[in-house]
Amino acid sequence: MSTQAALLMGSLDKKVYTNVTVTNVGRQEVVIAQVGVTHSKCAKVKFAFMKSIGIFYGSSSGNTETVAKQIQKGLGADAQVFEVSKAKKEDLEKFDNLILGTSTWGFGDLQDDFEGFMSQIEAANLSGKTVALFGCGDQESYSDTFVNGMGQVWQALQNKGCKIVGQTSTDGYSFSASDAVVDDKFVGLAIDENNQSDMTDERIAAWVETLKSSLS
């Protein structure tokens, strides 16, 4: 659980209570009850915990970086962005929620920096974390390997003990094959800035809204 919390309200019946004990600890809120004071009522105070979100991307042309920053903007101040060429496994481990993004190059290859980052993912302890994926690709020029890089990242996470969220529909895309399609859905958000740039903003916004309820 993140240790960051914001106090929403701190008094009951216009009296301020300072001696409290924490009860009912959950990921979204903590309720604290008054102790050690003469007032017979319990003061219930809610703390809204900030979700701990790390966005890690590998980008060569700049498209994946732009998508990562749009996702960060949609999620708000809780999300931090990292370029994978400068990140280590310790950076992954300090977040409750991870969003990993890569482009696909050549005939289904990972972006170079992200390929190097895969060893950090493999070495990191991701047990209990929630992970979402996004990938950039070209469904016309590389129709049979569209966003394959995202599929490779998904495959690397299968035995890491993490929960993968954010799967999306393949509707609206035109491609022959993709390693990023499992059970007739993309394993994450697929973006094609080369051929469908006019749909990028809408796709990101819709995906971010689903993540807000999926991230722990």
pLDDT at 208 over 90: yes
Cα separation of 184 and 1, whole Å?
A: 33
43 and 84 in a single domain? The answer is no
Question: Whose CA is closest to 68, among 156, 189, 154?
Answer: 189
pLDDT at 23: 35
pLDDT at 216: 73
CATH number of the CATH domain containing 199: 3.40.50.360
18 and 103 in a single domain? The answer is no
Digit-coded pLDDT (tens) for 129-184: 999 999 999 999 999 999 999 999 999 999 999 999 999 999 999 999 999 999 99
Cα separation of 3 and 180, whole Å?
A: 34
User: Taken in order 77, 78, 83, 87, is the CA torsion positive or negative?
Assistant: positive
27 and 114 in a single domain? The answer is no
155 and 110 in a single domain? The answer is yes
Residue with more model confidence, 207 or 36: 207
CB-CB contact of 55 with 82 (8 Å): yes
Span 190-195, average pLDDT: 97
Domains contained in the chain, number: 2
User: Taken in order 114, 58, 149, 53, is the CA torsion positive or negative?
Assistant: positive
pLDDT at 30: 36
103 and 177 in a single domain? The answer is yes
31 and 57 in a single domain? The answer is no
Digit-coded pLDDT (tens) for 106-134: 889 999 999 999 999 999 999 999 999 99
35 and 58 in a single domain? The answer is no
Mean pLDDT lowest among 60-64, 90-94, 212-216: 212-216
Domain of 19, in residue numbers: 5-49
Rg of the chain taking only CA atoms, in angstroms: 21
